[in-house]
Chains A and B, each alone.
Chain A
Amino acid sequence: MLQRPRARRRIRWWPIVIVLLAAVVVLLNTRPIDTPRDLAARLTLPIQRLLREAGNELRSATGAVEDTTTLREHAEQLEKTVAQLTVENLRLKEVEAENVRLRSLLQFRDVNPSITYKGGQLVGRIVANEPGNIVQSVLIDIGSNNGIESGMPVVTELGLVGRVTEVYSNAARVLLITDSSSNVNTMLQNTRLRGILRGRAGQSPIMDYLPQDQPILVGDIVVTSGEGGRFPIGIPVGQVVEVEQNDVEMFQQAVVRTTVDFDTLETVLVVTNFVSPSEQLGAPQTEPELQP
């Protein structure tokens, strides 16, 4: 007799707590709460670093236990690739030398992001991911103390990774190009056809808004177009692996396999000296740092 009302009360207050919390969440999200997160990043970064390193070691150890046959086949394939790349490398060196010579002849003084971004970059180690699988962002171990600012492009030697979205004193959050809220202005390297690369949860990114009448081939290289001023021009993004064309649609789309393997990503480069063209118009003219 006495227990019934108590049991009823117990059940009823749960939804109230959830509703109240939902209200608090909405109220709190009216402005970014970075200070507690900054504090949390400061306190937990050493532990996150240790855990990440342990995880990386574990992955390396398990990766080493591969089948011998697979390794042999892999080695043969790599040998062929090395031979091809050596030839390609020689050709590219020639092109690069010619490029440098022509630029100096033309007294090229405008900002060329593909060169300037090589001059100012900071190496950051990835220490954490998002707790869930749907949102694609990572935490790196460099922050405002190291000169990191929100919006800075993040790359690796293989290509584009994303951009800095939140900066703490000793850490920064990077939104990956694979996230569903990420949009990057891109173009096809050979045809210069422009489109927007959109991340998709659980799938490869897609290059959208490509005109129907333009031919797109599987294998086409996708690079940043530099439009919008968020990223330097010419950073490799990926390769077209599938073209989705539908006659009733206004645009065709291309599924892109990124050059960066986000599952095994450990370190990234934050481009600290990239100046977007729009910012540069307002800023005093400075000598660009040209580095061969």
Chain B
Amino acid sequence: MMPYLLLLALGLAALVQVSLLPVLRVAGVSPNLTLMVITAWALLRGGRSAVIWALVAGLWLDLLSGQWFGVYTLGLLTAAYLAGLASQTVYRPSIWLALGMAAAVTVVQAAIQLTLLLVSGSVLSLPEVALRLVAPEIVYNSIVMLAVYPVLSWINRMTGQERLPVE
């Protein structure tokens, strides 16, 4: 895989996340595709490889969003770091670990955004946000992880013997 291909692939994932997935909302919530991709890759390949992906995908999301520039990059880098740490604690990552991490990084990503919103003066009811937005997103992201993890696992197996050019 060439670096520019990775750039385009993650760009496409970001575009799908902002343009296509919001149309398929369930209970007002859409999944976070890029977050799941980065988390799964960090589990499979370690945080060091995933941080490049996180940086590229995060910048794409920040360019496509209207929020403070860097919010999504920060969230994805944190997710890559946490999933990288988790991958070091186990002998071999599994789908169960991936599902657990999907929930954890969803909470962390939401916490980062909520912190920034609260700092900027927005009035938020944290229990309501947790119940109505974060909890359904955990479920939705877990479903996406069930699809993403096997695909990335296959890519990892195909490219596993050789390190990716961007690592």
Contact = CB atoms under 8 A, between A and B. Distances in A.
A37 B63 contact: yes
Given A10-B48, A181-B120, A131 B133 contact: no
A132 B23 CA distance: 13
Interface residues of A, number: 49
Interface string B38-66: 00000000011001000000000101111
B30 A202 contact: no
B113 A203 contact: no
A51 B30 CA distance: 15
Contacts of B125: 200-201, 203
Contacts of A214: none
Contact of A131 (B18, B69, B110, B117): B18
A2 interface: no
Interface string A7-23: 00010001101100110
Contact of A128 (B19, B114, B128): B19
A28 interface: yes
Nearest to A29: B68
Contact of B64 (A10, A40, A198): A40
Nearest to A44: B15
Given A180-B124, A181-B122, A17 B20 contact: no
A189 B47 CA distance: 57
Contacts of A33: 69
A207 B81 CA distance: 42
Contacts of A173: 66
B64 A128 contact: yes
Interface residues of B, number: 56
B15 to A, nearest CB: 6
Nearest to A166: B66
Contacts of B77: 17-18, 21
Contacts of B74: 18, 21-22, 25
B-side binding surface: helix, strand, loop or mixed? helix
A25 B69 CA distance: 6
A55 B68 contact: no
A25 B65 CA distance: 14
A40 B124 contact: no
B87 interface: no
B153 interface: no
Contacts of A25: 68-71, 73-74
A87 interface: no
Interface string B1-37: 0000000000110111111111111001110101000
A15 B84 CA distance: 12
A157 interface: no
B163 interface: no
A24 B71 CA distance: 11
A118 interface: no
Closest 3 CB pairs of A and B: A55-B23, A25-B70, A202-B132
Given A49-B19, A51-B15, A127-B19, 8 more contacts: A29-B69, A29-B70, A33-B69, A52-B20, A128-B19, A128-B64, A135-B113, A263-B25
27 contacts: A14-B47, A17-B51, A18-B78, A22-B74, A24-B70, A40-B63, A47-B19, A48-B15, A55-B19, A55-B22, A55-B23, A56-B23, A128-B19, A130-B65, A131-B17, A131-B64, A132-B109, A134-B110, A134-B114, A134-B117, A139-B66, A165-B66, A180-B123, A201-B122, A202-B129, A202-B131, A203-B132
